Amino acid sequence: MKQERYDIHCDSQSALDLSKNAMYHSRTKHIDVRYHWLRQVVEEQQFKLEKIHTDDNSADMMTKVVTGGKLQLCAELIGMECM
């Protein structure tokens, strides 16, 4: 099954700005050209990037050290229960 568009939630305003602004910036020159594919897929509307508040970002439990309370909240956001 193929989706028409994938919604991606991101809590990094810098990443959102980079995906929308195709202009070259000296601050982003270290990012390899092959990683700029995100701009193309956003322009083609295959992906839609949306801002999400850090408190509502369930990916934090897999990418950061989180407190027990934050872990429980993240688990609930994806439909899991902590034991």
Residues 6 and 39 in one domain: yes
Residues 45 and 67 in one domain: no
Q: How many domains does the chain have?
A: 2
Residues 63 and 46 in one domain: no
Q: Taking the model in full, what pTM does it have?
A: 0.60
Q: How many CA atoms lie within 13 A of 32 on its CB side?
A: 2
Residues 22 and 46 in one domain: yes
Range of the domain at 72: 56-83
Report in angstroms the alpha-carbon separations of 30 from 27, 34, 42, 52, 79: 7, 12, 21, 26, 38
Q: Is the pLDDT of residue 30 over 80?
A: no
Residues 48 and 71 in one domain: no
Residues 28 and 46 in one domain: yes
Residues 10 and 45 in one domain: yes
Summarize pLDDT for 37-80 with one digit per residue, the tens: 777 787 888 888 889 888 888 887 788 888 888 888 888 888 88
The rounded distance, in Å, linking the Cα atoms of 63 and 34 is: 23
pLDDT of residue 27: 67
Q: Which residue has the higher pLDDT, 29 or 68?
A: 68
